[in-house]
Homo-oligomer: A and B are copies of this chain.
Amino acid sequence: MENHPNSLKKGEFVVIEDEVDIGENVSIGHNTVILKGTVIGDNVNIGCNCVIGIQQGGNTRMRKSDEMGNKLIIKDNTYIGNIVSIYSGSIISKNVFVGDHASIRENVLVDSESVIGRGAIIELNTKIGKACTVQTLAYVTGDTTLEDHVFIGPCVSMSNDKYMGAEKYELKGPTIKENAKIGNNSSLLPNVVIGKDVIVGAGSVVTKNIQDGEKIAGVPANSMKK
């Protein structure tokens, strides 16, 4: 028999599997699925038609994460929208906002106060720092690091495989340092390091490392002279 707090506000046709821990004052919308191994803190809101705590799957051509634990931890006061998918083996910290239609994979940390926009996708083995903004429909590839206060504009794209599947290669996404801002629809190549306080103009293609404080734009992106 289920043993959930009386304060749980649960919609219709909600599925909560076994081995799910739920804190106080949690709200779960209609038709949402909470899978085995999910740990939900206090005052968490989860919208309708979500799938939360997905176990890794896939065929033999898909990468698997070695380091993942087997739980999904969602901390206090976090707000998750509607039609969201989140994998097991990740941590969503306090006061995070996850927009509708977003997807977060395994072995990911989304640190406190960060915003993951609508339709954004965060791939595996990735760390999102504190108070970051990942805007609508942005794509954060696997093996990527965002330090604190990073801004990723709408529809930004990243990649982590310079051979596009043709050769064996240790996959590595970008590293984006504190307070850097990436303009909408920019493209970041594998393994680039973007320094602190860098500003990347909209629609740029970043092909190399960028030093702290630079402002760049274009295809390929270069310094903007005033």
Most buried by B among A45, A83, A95, A96: A83
Q: Check A125 for interface membership: any CB of B closer than 8 A.
A: no
Distance to closest chain B CB from A165 (angstroms): 5
Q: Check A143 for interface membership: any CB of B closer than 8 A.
A: no
A54 touches which one: B31, B82, B155, B164 (CB < 8 A)? B82
CB–CB A137/B139 < 8 A:
yes
Contact with B along A132-154 (1 / 0, CB 8 A): 01001101010000000001011
- Residues of B with C-beta under 8 A to A157: 137, 154-155, 184-185, 202-203
Select from chain B the residue with minimum beta-carbon distance to A180. B164
Tell me the complex Cα distance, A136–B124, Å: 12
Known: A31-B13, A121-B119, A136-B123. A58 touches B79 (CB 8 A): yes
Tell me the complex Cα distance, A168–B208, Å: 31
Q: Check A15 for interface membership: any CB of B closer than 8 A.
A: yes
Interface segment among A2-10, A18-26, A67-75, A97-105: the answer is A97-105
- Residues of B with C-beta under 8 A to A199: 164
CB–CB A85/B82 < 8 A:
yes
Would you mind naming 25 contact pairs between A and B with Cβ atoms under 8 Å apart?
Answer: A11-B15, A30-B33, A30-B51, A31-B49, A33-B48, A45-B57, A47-B51, A48-B51, A49-B51, A57-B81, A59-B77, A101-B103, A123-B136, A133-B165, A136-B141, A137-B137, A151-B166, A153-B164, A155-B157, A155-B187, A159-B183, A165-B181, A166-B181, A203-B219, A219-B219
Given A11-B33, A49-B83, A58-B97, 16 additional A-B pairs, CB 8 A: A11-B15, A49-B49, A51-B83, A54-B100, A58-B79, A61-B97, A83-B83, A101-B103, A103-B118, A133-B165, A136-B139, A137-B139, A137-B157, A153-B159, A158-B184, A166-B181
